């Protein structure tokens, strides 16, 4: 039971960090592009906390601690809907201009003016009309007015000049790319942190080794910091030569092999006989590369690890496209299982999973499927080539196709996860 709870908590934290960092990238660059972000939410479902920042964004925390989202003003992102005849309580400033439209059941201002709304325009004319008592009235709406939605969430209205589609194409492109970019940055930082936690980065260019406790070479008297110079008479100058020599010396031997290992310590050379230990059909002597422990060695080593991880994921994606198989993909259930296993193995395993998943999220979101960031970037590129935007109907149609593809894919992947986990 305790391990299950630990797994759930780890999954929530890892998944939450990935989504929040991703969405913050969109938030930051949307602001830079002049796009109004109406809401930045951590979690899903009913709201439990909300605060409107000076930037006009409503920062909310919702009850389900999984995921999050950014609501950007504009078509395909977020719109305001008020039904004809719906009651709205209007807050007016001293000049008689509306500064808040309250659609919820909550009374936020005792002096607010109730209206049965007949029409409104919060994009161009910035006005709202309706029946006040027995008289039809029209009021001007402030550019930065807020609207309290039926669930109690208060957000800014969205005039045309702060909508997504009215930002520059390059601003929109950077806004769309910023989410995956943040995931790549998070992954790289996590890999760098891992290198610092393990004390350094492996130095494969030398023959200096680290010795595992209770290993074959430890029993023979070798210690971390020794340099292996020969194995069965073969000269050793780096880690790759050491691995190849051990493999070559053990692959054709049926009985327990013995290796003649020559090593140096404090300027003295010694030779010992070592009997490798068999693990899953492979013989191991129990050594690993020495570590480079300089600050910049660790930073560069972590970034190289991130780079290698990125290309490993890209290669896996290429193989998946060339040879499709559901066994090569996983959904939320698979992520939960991996997170749970990592939680049992300690903090370093959790950070590694966070780093690897962050890279995965970044790459998947760049796939050219309209509902994903990559699909939006593709639309931006088409707009650059055509030198004019796509029609709203075409863009909406492409997005709907993307939604259908992603929903079907998620259902299939989740079902496959269930079959693998429980049957």
Active site residues: 23
Q: Dump strand ranges (E) for 245-385.
A: 259-265, 268-274, 277-279, 282-284, 287-292
Q: Give CA torsion, residues 3, 6, 11, 17, to 10 deg.
A: -160
C-alpha pair distances (Å), 285 with each of 93, 208, 265, 277, 290: 80, 14, 18, 6, 15
Cα(264)–Cα(308) distance, rounded to whole angstroms? 32
What is the Cα–Cα distance from 396 to 403, expressed in whole angstroms?
10
If you compute the radius of gyration of the chain from its CA atoms, what whole number of angstroms results? 30
The DSSP output letter for 73 is S
CB-neighbour burial class of residue 44 (10 A; exposed 0-12, middle 13-18, buried 19+): middle
Tokens of 301: 């080593």
Distance in angstroms (rounded) separating the CA atoms of residues 58 and 416: 38
- Output the CA angle 25-190-178, nearest 5 degrees: 15
- SS3 category, 107: coil
Q: What are phi and psi of 379, to 5 degrees?
A: -65, -40
| Strands laid side by side in the 209-211 sheet | 201-203, 287-292, 209-211
The helix/strand/coil state of 254 is coil
């Amino acid at each position: 039971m305790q391990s299950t709870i630990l797994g759930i908590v780890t999954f929530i934290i890892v998944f939450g960090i990935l989504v929040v960092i991703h969405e913050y990238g969109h938030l930051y660059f949307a602001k830079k592009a002049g796009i109004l972000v109406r809401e930045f939410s951590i979690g899903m479902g009913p709201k439990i906390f909300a605060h409107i920042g000076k930037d006009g964004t409503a920062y909310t925390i919702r009850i389900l601690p999984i995921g999050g989202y950014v609501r950007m003003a504009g078509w395909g992102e977020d719109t305001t809907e008020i039904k004809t005849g719906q009651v709205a309580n209007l807050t007016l400033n001293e000049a008689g201009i509306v500064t808040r439209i309250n659609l919820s059941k909550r009374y936020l201002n005792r002096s607010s003016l109730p209206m049965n709304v007949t029409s409104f325009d919060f994009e161009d004319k910035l006005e709202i009309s309706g029946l006040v008592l027995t008289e039809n009235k029209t009021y001007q709406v402030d550019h930065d007015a807020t609207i309290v939605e039926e669930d109690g969430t208060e957000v800014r209205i969205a005039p045309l000049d702060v909508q997504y589609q009215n930002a520059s194409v390059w601003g929109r492109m950077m806004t769309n790319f910023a989410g995956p970019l943040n995931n790549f940055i998070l992954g790289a930082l996590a890999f760098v942190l891992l290198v610092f936690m393990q004390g350094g980065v492996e130095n494969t260019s030398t023959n200096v080794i680290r010795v595992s406790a209770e290993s074959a070479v430890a029993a023979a008297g070798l210690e971390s910091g020794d340099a292996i110079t020969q194995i069965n008479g073969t000269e050793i100058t780096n880690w790759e030569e050491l691995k190849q020599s051990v493999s070559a010396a053990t692959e054709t031997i049926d009985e327990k092999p013995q290796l003649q290992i020559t090593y140096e310590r404090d300027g003295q050379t010694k030779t010992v006989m070592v009997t490798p230990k068999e693990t899953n059909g492979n013989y191991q002597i129990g050594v690993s590369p020495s570590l480079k422990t300089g600050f910049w060695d660790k930073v560069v080593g972590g970034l190289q690890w991130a780079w290698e991880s990125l290309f490993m994921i890209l290669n896996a994606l290429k193989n998946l496209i060339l040879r499709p198989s559901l066994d090569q993909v996983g959904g939320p259930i698979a992520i939960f299982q991996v997170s749970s296993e990592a939680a049992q193995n300690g903090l370093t395993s959790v950070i590694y999973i966070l780093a690897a998943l962050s890279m995965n999220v970044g790459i998947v979101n760049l796939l050219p499927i309209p509902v994903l960031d990559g699909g939006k970037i593709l639309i931006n590129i088409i707009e650059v080539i055509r030198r004019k935007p796509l029609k709203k109907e075409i863009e909406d149609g492409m997005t709907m196709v993307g939604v259908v593809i992603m929903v079907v894919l998620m259902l299939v992947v989740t079902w496959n996860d269930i079959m693998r986990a429980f049957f």
